[in-house]
Structures are given as structure tokens and as C-alpha cells.
Amino acid sequence: DSGVTQTPKHLITATGQRVTLRCSPRSGDLSVYWYQQSLDQGLQFLIQYYNGEERAKGNILERFSAQQFPDLHSELNLSSLELGDSALYFCASSVSIGYNEQFFGPGTRLTVL
Amino acid sequence: SQQGEEDPQALSIQEGENATMNCSYKTSINNLQWYRQNSGRGLVHLILIRSNEREKHSGRLRVTLDTSKKSSSLLITASRAADTASYFCATDATSGTYKYIFGTGTRLKVLA
């Protein structure tokens, strides 16, 4: 158990809908990262937050947004969902903003029908 | 495009044999990390090697880094069935953004 929790574990929804994925980092970790893993794209970095502020952005679509709250939990919002958004979404956390080990949550499997 | 590319994409070996997988990357890095992922589960950090290090060991794992060739290798010695998983290398961008780019992974299958 990495200490990172993600909810829900599974999510099934329809195209055009909006969903929110939630992540609680390990106790004491200030950085949160979001990744998308689909079969044909590997693990794609989406966005990073550090202590409430956005610090790095990857291949995140405009339909997606995220935030980190004062209690350090983070939410990833996905809107106007398309079939291609079906994937595993992982959250990871690390102690600080530097180059260090990331601890991954168990992921949320999103299926868009 | 991916910063890290693992090779081979898939590897099947017998229990007790050694497994070697490689990672190549394109730009200068501060460090390189290896992660393991069991099917459909979260990634688990294995080892981090900094750009000024050439080799690092952790239990049955040995990682080498050749910055002149922009490549790294992960060696798992005396493999076990429990080592069956996908292995990813992750490289940072030196632009100071602190984001990591993961390769597409090597799927290792260890046969009992």
C-alpha cells in the first residue's frame, strides 16, 4: 500500500458527461501528479500540483482540469467525455517539488460508453 | 513523443534466469527512475539513479546509466514468477518543470 488513495475505483459513464476523480496523497507529501494510461498511449503525464499551485503541465486536454485543495487532496475533472477518454487515471504524490520518487495510487478505471 | 523508450517491448524467461531491459532517452536528464506495474495496478518505484551515477544496486536489481549514450538498463537477477510485471523507465526534463516522462514499458513474464 503506497498510502495514496484514489476514488472511485471504477467509473462507467456516457459520452458527453462530466466526472470528477479524487486523490488523497500520502501524509506529508506536497506534490500531486496525474497520469493517464491507455492501451495504445502508455503512461501520459497530465498535470502536477505543489502545495496548491499548478507547477507543470503535460498533455492535458482543455476539457480536463484539476486542482489541489488546502488539505492537499486533488481532483481531476473530465468533461465532455469521449470514447477515447476511457483509460486508467493514476494519481501520484511525492514529498516535494524536486526530482524524487513518486508514490502511485491504485488508479481509477474510467469507461466511457 | 516519448522521452524514454524501453526495449524489448516484451520478454519471457524461465524462473531463475536474469532479465535485462533497456531504456533510451532523448534529452539530458537530472535522474532516471525505474518503476514496476503489476497488471492494472499502480506503479511501484524501484530505483532512482542520478545523472552523475553510473550504477546502482537494490537487492536483486542492478541499474546502469550511460549518459553519453542516453541509455539505462535494468537487470533483475535470479528472476521469480512474482517479478512478472511491466517495467517502466521515467526521465525528468531538465527544463525545471519537474515532470517525468514515462516510456511505454517492457512486459516481463517469468515462467515457473
Distance, CA of A58 to CA of A33 (rounded, Å) = 10
Residues of A with CB under 8 A from a CB of B: 2, 4, 31, 33, 35, 42-45, 48, 55-58, 88, 90, 92, 97-107, 109
Q: What pLDDT, on the 0 to 100 scale, is given for residue B1?
A: 44
Distance, CA of A50 to CA of A45 (rounded, Å) = 15
Distance, CA of B31 to CA of B101 (rounded, Å) = 11
User: Per the CB < 8 Å rule, is A101 touching B45?
Assistant: yes
CB B11 within 8 A of CB B107: yes
User: Per the CB < 8 Å rule, is B30 touching A109?
Assistant: no
Maximal CA-CA distance, chain B = 44
Q: What pLDDT, on the 0 to 100 scale, is given for residue B29?
A: 87
* Mean pLDDT of the region A77-101: 91
pLDDT, averaged across chain A: 93
Per the model's pLDDT, the better-predicted residue between B84 and B95 turns out to be: B84
Q: Report helix, strand or coil for A74.
A: strand
Mutate to test the interface with A, among B43, B51, B87, B107 (most CBs of A within 10 A): B43
Nearest to B97 among A56, A102, A109 (CB): A56
Q: Which of A58-67, A78-87, B97-106 has the lowest mean pLDDT?
A: B97-106
Tell me: pLDDT of B4 over 80: no
pLDDT tens, residue by residue, B71-83: 999 999 999 999 9
Per the model's pLDDT, the better-predicted residue between B91 and B2 turns out to be: B91
C-alpha cell recorded at residue B72? 539505462
C-alpha distances in Å from residue B70, one per residue of B20, B30, B36, B74, B80: 17, 12, 21, 14, 29
Sort strands B19-25 and B31-37 into parallel, antiparallel or unpaired. unpaired
Sort strands B106-111 and B100-102 into parallel, antiparallel or unpaired. unpaired
Q: What pLDDT, on the 0 to 100 scale, is given for residue A100?
A: 80
Helices (H) and strands (E) in chain A, counts: 0, 11
Tell me: pLDDT of B64 over 90: yes
Q: What pLDDT, on the 0 to 100 scale, is given for residue A41?
A: 67
DSSP 8-state symbol, A84 = G
C-alpha cell recorded at residue A43? 503512461
Per the model's pLDDT, the better-predicted residue between A96 and B95 turns out to be: A96
* Mean pLDDT of the region B55-72: 96
Nearest to B99 among A56, A101, A107 (CB): A56
Tell me: pLDDT of B27 over 90: no
Q: What pLDDT, on the 0 to 100 scale, is given for residue B92?
A: 82
Residue type, A33: Y
Chain A CA closest to residue B93: A99
Interface check B1 vs A, CB under 8 A: no
Percent of chain A with pLDDT over 70: 96
* Mean pLDDT of the region A90-109: 89
Q: Which of A24-28, A63-67, A95-99, B5-9 has the lowest mean pLDDT?
A: A95-99
pLDDT tens, residue by residue, A28-68: 999 999 999 987 667 899 999 999 999 888 889 999 999 99
